[in-house]
Amino acid sequence: MEFHQRILSLIEEQESWRGNCLNMIASENVVSPSVTRAVASDFGHRYAEGMLAGKDGEGMQLFDRFYQGNRFFDKVEAIAIRLSEELFGAEHANVVPISGVVANLSAYYALASYGDKISALTIPAGAHISHGKVSAAGVMGMKTIPYAFDNDEMNIDVDGSKKILLEEKPKIMVLGASVFLFPHPVKEMREIADEIEARIVYDGAHVLGLIAGKRFQSPFEEGADVVTASTHKTMPGPQGGVVMCKEELSKKIDNAAFPGLVSNHHLHHVAGYAIALAEMQKFGEDYAGQIVKNSKALGQAMHESGFKVLCENKGFTKSHQLLLDVSNFGGGKEFADQMERSNIILNKNMLPWDSMKDSRNPSGIRIGVQELTRVGMKESEMKEIGGLIKRVIVDKEEPEKVKSDVVELRKNFTKIHYCFD
Ligand code: DSN
């Protein structure tokens, strides 16, 4: 078979397979037909390098481009910026970053100098890699100062962290995470940041759709200086990034994004993101509300099935995520492999007490329910899914046998909800 035919056939196989799976990776989602249209549009192979150039009388962004041909894209990007500012209460938004890491790097580049200190969670406690030396913080030569973490609360220990922060005085304090069950103490950390003259960068990648739907904290209202995110986790846009900030930082942030870190941004992604923002403006509250109901319902079902779901005493979660300690079932790797054999897709994850050397087979499993919610599942399906997982892991039924029931359940949930199409 020719390579091009092979690729087309692999796309078919992927879509047919994942369309028959329960997709529960906490950082993924499905996009609406309108977003798919945007991503496959002519914008996907055009250039729009240029500067932001003030706003018109109606508050729409104007651009000073280096390339001709952008009369329609200028309007698209202006809408993406306008909706980002409105939905997240941002004084300024920039949609140039092509990923969450680039959004974080833009913030670091704008606010710190090579070699400065940055504070964040550790990766086992839930940090994204870009908060640490293996990724964006390391590219900036920054030393990461870890916060004290409360394993029972699954959150930052403010008092313990305060002592560390007053001593270390990082230039940037990163809040937000990739394991993100509960809102972070932004208000309390703001007070510390003011004392040490640090900037707060809130990485909202995982919870952006929940913030849009007003079902999570509002980071700017609570004191963040900058909010960064990817656009494709709970926010159901195409893969991409966004960085938002207080007006006083806008020039530095814009300059860091372009020409600092990106030459041409991905215009088709900006168009898709703008559509996803419009979807969240109209349907976001229902969508985010159902996500949180679903994650709590699945947590309860799995707890009743004998799994160690973290934070039972706190209702398991206030986000799209659940975290399970599966060390008594052989660890996260075996668990995730068995699930994949039954068409349930989730990922192994470190828990705060794991060490980095456990990363190949950590103690935990992370589950996200945002994609299942987007295809219309509710609390009763969460209960059913808890039962399917139990049959494989606790009852030790053959995963392939459970798979046929997974496929049967999935058949009734093929339409994408909370969108205009
Ligand atoms: N690695 C992703 C996650 O799963 O959280 C974030 O980029």
| Interval 102-154: pLDDT, tens | 999 999 999 999 999 999 999 999 999 999 999 999 999 999 999 999 999 99
User: Which pLDDT value is given to residue 46?
Assistant: 98
Q: Residue 152: count other Cβ atoms within 10 Å of its Cβ.
A: 10
User: Which pLDDT value is given to residue 203?
Assistant: 98
Answer yes or no: is pLDDT of 52 > 90: yes
Answer yes or no: is pLDDT of 28 > 80: yes
Per residue in 275-319, pLDDT tens? 999 999 999 999 999 999 999 999 999 999 999 999 999 999 999
Q: Which helix H or strand E contains 207, and what residues bound it?
A: none
227 confidence band (pLDDT: 50, 70, 90): very high
Ligand 1 atom closest to the Cα of residue 27 is: 4
Distances from the Cα of 340 to the Cα of 23, 128, 393, angstroms: 10, 24, 12
104 lines ligand 1 (CB under 6 A): no
How far, in Å, is the centroid of ligand 1 from the Cα of 128? 7
How far, in Å, is the centroid of ligand 1 from the Cα of 27? 5
How far, in Å, is the centroid of ligand 1 from the Cα of 72? 33
Per residue in 56-78, pLDDT tens? 999 999 999 999 999 999 999 99
Rounded to a whole number, what is the distance in angstroms from the first to the last CA of the chain? 36
Answer yes or no: is pLDDT of 356 > 90: no
CA–CA separation, 150 vs 353, rounded Å? 11
How far, in Å, is the centroid of ligand 1 from the Cα of 178? 6
178 lines ligand 1 (CB under 6 A): yes
Q: What is the mean pLDDT of residues 395-406?
A: 97
What is the third-level CATH fold of 283-410?
Aspartate Aminotransferase, domain 1 (3.90.1150)
The 3-state DSSP class for residue 226 equals strand
User: Which pLDDT value is given to residue 132?
Assistant: 95
Instruction: Tell me which of 233, 242, 320 to substitute to probe ligand 1's pocket, judged by most ligand atoms within 8 Å of the beta carbon.
Output: 233
- Going from N- to C-terminal start, the domains of the chain cover 35-277, 283-410
Distances from the Cα of 141 to the Cα of 117, 120, 166, 197, 223, angstroms: 9, 15, 21, 20, 26
Torsion on CA atoms 304, 308, 310, 314, rounded to nearest 10: 30
27 lines ligand 1 (CB under 6 A): yes
How far, in Å, is the centroid of ligand 1 from the Cα of 101? 10
128 lines ligand 1 (CB under 6 A): yes
Strands 364-368 and 347-349, bridge-based pairing: antiparallel
Query: Which of 336-340, 354-358, 376-380, 399-403 has the least mean pLDDT?
Result: 354-358
DSSP H helices in 31-134 = 33-39, 71-88, 100-111
Residue type, 333: K
Instruction: Tell me which of 178, 230, 320, 367 to substitute to probe ligand 1's pocket, judged by most ligand atoms within 8 Å of the beta carbon.
Output: 178
User: Which pLDDT value is given to residue 6?
Assistant: 97
pTM of this structure? 0.97
CA–CA separation, 6 vs 403, rounded Å? 26
CATH of 35-277, one of 3.30.1490.190, 3.40.640.10, 3.40.50.300, 3.30.300.30: 3.40.640.10
Per residue in 228-248, pLDDT tens? 999 999 999 999 999 999 999
1 confidence band (pLDDT: 50, 70, 90): confident
231 lines ligand 1 (CB under 6 A): no
Answer yes or no: is pLDDT of 274 > 80: yes
For tokens 């560390």, the residue is: 164
Q: Residue 92: count other Cβ atoms within 10 Å of its Cβ.
A: 21
Q: What is the mean pLDDT of the chain?
A: 97
Ligand 1 atom closest to the Cα of residue 130 is: 7
